[in-house]
Chain A
Amino acid sequence: MATEAAQDAAAGAAAHGAAGQSSGMPQLDFSTWGNQIFWLLVTLVVIYFVLSRVVMPRIASVLAERNGTITNDLAAAEELKQKALEAEKAYNEALATARAEAAKIVAQARADIQKDLDKATAKADAEIAAKTAESEKKIAEIRAGAMESVTEVAKDTAKELVAVLGGKADAKSVTAAVNALLKG
């Protein structure tokens, strides 16, 4: 009960607000309005001038400067990237050149070796051909010699045979017959 009474009293006090003031709501005390409005206008004018003369140009310039810096930095970064790309390109070019050079040298070396080889082969071929020709000549000589010997032996044998058989054979006809046989 006591608390209820206390709360009732509190509500009453809250409702009545500033006890002892001339007005319950200071907001509706019109005698102070002029004062408040005057100082409000002074305050607003001061803030307005501080903002428009000092703060806003400053912040605007800082923001513009920052934008400029960012743009410049981005441009620089772009440039560096371009440079890096160029360097890479140059490197690749150098690499390609070196590779081409190496290929050329290899080809040259291969060609040289081939030439030497060809020369050596040709020489060897020529030697072999010469030797073959010589050998063939010798073989031909030997064959000719052998043929002659065969003709001789055949003539002699034929003369002997004819003589043994009792005939007399002149040398001319025996030779002719042997030759005819050898040819046939």
Chain B
Amino acid sequence: MEGDIAEMGKFIGAGLATMGLGGAGIGVGHIAGNFLAGALRNPSAAPGQMANLFVGIAFAEALGIFSFLIALLLMFAV
């Protein structure tokens, strides 16, 4: 029975950890939306900022990936 409770805790923890993906989604959406808004105001400057866009998205996404990683660790490694 103890093992079952530990198992259950693992699953609950993994499920909770996936909520972090929502934060990453908000962040990425924010970056992409603001980029688009800026790009529509000044389309000529947009291509030069593509690199910054991708770097920003990568940074925001990394945090979501961390929560995914924690979920995986809970599921498989704990």
Contact = CB atoms under 8 A, between A and B. Distances in A.
A and B touch in the complex (CB under 8 A): yes
A15 B72 contact: no
User: Is chain A's binding surface mostly helix, strand, loop or mixed?
Assistant: loop
Nearest to A26: B76
User: Is chain B's binding surface mostly helix, strand, loop or mixed?
Assistant: helix
Interface in B16-71: none
Contacts of B76: 17, 23-25, 28
Interface residues of A, number: 6
Contacts of B11: 15
Interface string A1-44: 00000000000000101000001110010000000000000000
Query: Max chain A CB contacts within 10 Å: which of B14, B72, B75, B76?
Result: B76
15 contacts: A15-B11, A15-B14, A15-B75, A17-B75, A17-B76, A23-B76, A24-B75, A24-B76, A24-B77, A25-B72, A25-B76, A25-B77, A28-B73, A28-B76, A28-B77
Interface of B: 11, 14, 72-73, 75-77
Interface of A: 15, 17, 23-25, 28
